A = this chain, B = another copy of it.
Amino acid sequence: MSRRAPKLGRGVALVGAGMSKFGAFADKTSRDLFVDAFNAMTKSMDKAINTEDIDALYVGNYSSDLFEGQGHIAPIMADWVGLVPKPATRVEDACASGGVAIREGIIAIASGIYDIVLVGGTEKMSNLPTEQVTDTLASASDATYEGSCGFTFPGLYAAMATAYMDKYGASVEHLMKVGIKNHNNGALNPKAQFNKTIKDLMNSRIEKAKQKGEQIPDWHDEIDFLRDPRANPVVAWPMRLFDCSPITDGAACILLVAEDLAKNFSDDPIYVVGTGQGSDHALHERDDLTSILSARIAAQEAYKMAGVTPEEIQIAEVHDCFTIAELLAIEDLGFFKHGEAFKATEQGLTARDGLKPINTSGGLKSKGHPVGASGVGQVVEIWHQMRGEAGPRQVPGKDIRLTLTHNVGATGGTCVVHIFQRR
């Protein structure tokens, strides 16, 4: 592409970030979750923010329409945190809605029209039966050419996984190792939906069998556990239950401000130095299922804008809606060569104490995946890690100055990447 290098007219900084607890909350709507996230965000800030000073709201949401029968949620969210009559805009790009809402916030500040922008994401999914949630999510694929053939997302990602395994020789055990790592991280995240390691889950199943006097399963490690269909049934081979992110209710909020105002709001702001977004054809139209064009495009643009290389990124939150998705992500982002991510994961390079820690929050797999909120939730983790405030899951021995988030919509119809710097 002959396109000129993308450049923003004004710098943008991150001065606050917070999220609701992720999980299944029968008594909460998306607006309640949003208020929880907003309050967590204000609590995260070094200096108090007066809501009257916020110029606008962008909110990422996949389908409150289908999940809750509530469209037009942006002004409702604005109202519930006291922002009326400020502009309130919903942005939707499936599971990348949150990340794209952040991009719109960045662009708006860069344009000069706003100085201070609240970006949120919210999704309330658990009130529908599982099959209906699966169908609702499936409408983010190409409903005419994929959904109509019976494809839902576990099946679409299963197709990508088998293509990857066939091309590079990866096994189901390699996929399992992504989930094991992310649960190891999520176990240390009090806001995660599943804050237990897979070993913990295995041991508690063994304990239960003992107590009931049942036959004790022959599990020596997590891989034994995950191979056992009683513990980890196949959803769409090779995707088993523990390869899939859960159905989650949750919200996240961040506050973006013009770079020159950052010190008014934070002693230690984080600067947004790169943003990129791309689109791709629906999965059935692609020649290659083992790499996502929109992700490569988004990453290229973000790296170019930031003037950095993949090697310089210290930690990243990437879109692991399925275990295979994390492998594709860290290859498309240039962290590892194509066909190498599964080996890198096996070698522990993406673990919290590895060379390139990925999804220290627990990722979508363990932290949870309230689809429209996930892209914003990624930045909450980045905020805590970069400020050294991530508690027991703080990445050890690193002064974290450069990070990345990677948020995918559907099978990659959308991808958005952001790069953050602490100066």
The answer to whether the Cβ of A47 comes within 8 Å of any Cβ in the partner chain is no
Contacts of A91 in B (CB 8 A): 89-92
Per-position contact with B for A96-125: 1 when CB-CB < 8 Å, else 0? 000010011001101111110000000000
Q: Which residue of B has the minimal Cβ distance to A285?
A: B79
* A86 shortest CB reach to chain B, Å: 6
A9 touches which of B9, B93, B147 (Cβ 8 Å)? B9
Task: Point out the residues of chain B lying under 8 angstroms from A70, CB to CB.
Answer: 139, 142-144
Question: Known: A89-B91, A279-B86, A280-B84. Contact between A413 and B7, CB under 8 A?
Answer: no
Interface of chain A residues 134 through 156 with chain B (CB within 8 A): 136, 139-144, 147
Please state if A72 and B413 are interface contacts (CB–CB under 8 Å): yes
Contacts of A136 on B, CB cut-off 8 Å? 65, 71
**Is A370's beta carbon under 8 Å from chain B?**
no
In the assembled complex, the CB of A91 is this many whole angstroms from the nearest CB of chain B, namely 6
Tell me, yes or no, whether A3 is within 8 Å of chain B by CB. Answer: yes
Task: Place the interface of chain A in its size category.
Answer: 35 or more
* Structural contact, B75 and A279, CB atoms closer than 8 A: yes
CA distance A91 to B63 in the complex (A): 12
Inside 8 A of A71's CB, which chain B residues have their CB?
62-63, 66, 92, 94, 136, 139-140
State whether A65 and B66 are in contact (beta carbons under 8 Å apart), knowing that A144-B29, A294-B85 are contacts in the complex. Answer: yes
Known: A55-B3, A100-B89, A104-B89. A279 touches B140 (CB 8 A): no
> Any chain B CB within 8 A of the CB of A87?
yes
Cβ of A57: which chain B residues have Cβ within 8 Å of it?
279
A140 to B73, CA, bound (A): 8
Can you list, as one digit per residue, whether each of A246-285 has a CB less than 8 Å from chain B (1) or not (0)? 0000000000000000000000000000010111111001
Most chain B beta-carbon neighbours within 10 Å: one of A71, A94, A140, A275 = A71
Q: Is the CB of B113 within 8 A of A8?
A: yes
Decide if A289 is an interface residue (CB 8 Å cutoff): no
Asked if residues A143 and B8 are in contact (CB atoms below 8 Å), the reply is: no
A72 is contacted by which of B76, B103, B293, B414 (Cβ under 8 Å)? B414
Whether A410 sits at the interface, judged by CB under 8 Å, is yes
A83 at the interface (CB under 8 A from B): yes
Contact A69 B277 (CB under 8 A): no
- Is A10 close to B, CB under 8 A? yes
Task: Determine whether A358 belongs to the interface, using a CB cutoff of 8 Å to chain B.
Answer: no
Write the nearest CB–CB distance from A319 to chain B, whole angstroms: 14
Q: Contact between B85 and A409 (Cβ–Cβ < 8 Å)?
A: no
Closest B residue to A141 by beta carbon equals: B72
- Give me 4 other A-B pairs in contact (C-beta within 8 A), A70-B143, A71-B94, A71-B139 excluded: A71-B140, A75-B294, A79-B279, A90-B92
A-B contacts, 19 of them at CB < 8 A, read A1-B52, A9-B111, A29-B144, A62-B71, A65-B66, A66-B66, A69-B139, A70-B139, A71-B139, A74-B92, A75-B294, A79-B285, A85-B294, A85-B297, A87-B103, A87-B279, A90-B91, A110-B112, A111-B112
Residues of A within 8 A of B (CB): 1, 3-4, 6-10, 29, 31, 52, 55-57, 62-63, 65-66, 68-72, 74-76, 78-79, 83-94, 100, 103-104, 107-108, 110-115, 136, 139-144, 147, 275, 277-282, 285, 293-294, 297, 409-410, 413-414
